[in-house]
Amino acid sequence: MHLRTTLPKKILAWYDNSKRNLPWRVGKKSPKKLYYRLLSEFMLQQTQVKTVIPYFNKFTSKFKTLESFSKLSENEILKLWEGLGYYRRARNLLASSKVLVNQYNSKLPKEINELKKLPGIGDYTANALLGLVYDQPTVALDGNVKRVFARYLNKKETKINFENFIALNRKKLFCTNRNSDFVEALMEFGALICKPKDPKCIQCCLNKSCAYLKSSNKVRTNKRKKIKVMQYDIFCYLNKRKQIALTKENNVGFLKNFNLPTIKKMKKISKNTKWKFLKNYKNSISNQKLNINLYYRFSNKIPRSHNWHSLQNNKEFIPSFTKKIFNQVSLLF
C-alpha cells in the first residue's frame, strides 16, 4: 500500500487554491494559534463546520485568550455551549485549558503521550494539535482522512492498518516541509472533494492515480450509522408558579448528570394513575431516535432527588433536549 510522492504536493496545491476561509485558521506565528486550534478542534468533534463557526466566534469575541477562557466556570461554558450538543466536550475543553494554563504555562505539550493525558484528547485530536500548532509530521485520522486514503487505494477502511500505512509512507507524506498545512489539507480535501456521498472525482487532483476511480469494483466507503430506536416516558412535576421539578438521577445514557424530569423506559401506564398524558413526540440524540410520551401532573410535593426550576429562567444552562420539554409543558399555563 505505497503512495506516490506527488500525492501530498497535489493535495497542498489544491488546498492553496480552494481552502475555506475559517476563523480559526490564523498565521503560524499568531499568539492566538493554540487557543483557536484547541477551541475549534473540540467544537468540530462530531459537528459540522457551518454549525461550529457562530459558536467559535461567540467564544472568541467574549474571551480573547486561552487564559481568560480557562477562568470560566462549568456553568458558564455550558450556557455558552448550549445548543452545540455533546456537552462532555465543553467540560473536557475547560478542564484541558485549565491544565495548560496552570501546569504548562499556556503551552501545548510536544509529546503525544503527554498530550493525551489531557481530558478529552485522544489520538486524533493529539495528532491534529501537534501538526497544527507545532508543525510536527503527523496525520490526524478522522473520518474524512481515512476515507481519502481508503478511496485512493480502493480498499475498505477496516482492511487498512492506518498506523502501519502512515509509517510505511512516512517519507512520501512528509516531504514538503508544510506539515501543519498538510494536516488540514487532508481533512479539507475529504470534506470538500472526497465526500462520503457523491465525491467530486472529475475535479479531483488525484484522479489520474486513484484506484477507486479506475476500478469497476468500487469499494463502498460511506458507512451507514446504526440507528437505535428508544422508547421513553417522561414525567413532569409542575406547580402553579410555572416551575418544573428536575433531577440528575435519571438512569439513562444520554445527557448523564444533567437536570431533567424523571425519565423511564416506556411501558403501559395504569388507567388509575395521577399522571396526565400531554403529548407524544420524536427527538434525536447522536445515533438514537427517541420516541417520547410526555406526562405531567401539578403538585407541590416532589421526590427528594428533585428540585424546582423556573420554566422561564434563561440564565441557567438547559440542554436542548430539556428545552423541548419546557416548550411543551409551558403550553399548559
Query: In angstroms, how far is CA 63 from the centroid of its own chain?
Result: 21
| Largest pairwise CA distance in the chain | 74
Residue 61: which H helix or E strand, with range? Answer: helix 49-62
Strands 262-265 and 243-246 come out as unpaired
Active-site residue flag, 41: yes
CA distance 197 to 206: 17
**Cα separations in angstroms, 328 against 30, 67, 76, 332:** 47, 40, 26, 8
Candidates 41, 82, 184, 188; catalytic one: 41
| Separation CA 3–CA 152 (nearest Å) | 9
Q: Three cell numbers at 202? A: 472529475
What's the Cα-to-Cα distance from 56 to each of 7, 20, 51, 115, rounded to whole Å? 32, 16, 9, 22
- Neighbouring CB atoms inside 10 A of 132's CB total 27
Please report, for the chain, how many H helices and E strands are present, in that order: 14, 6
Specify the DSSP element, H or E, that contains 211.
helix 211-214
Active site residues: 41
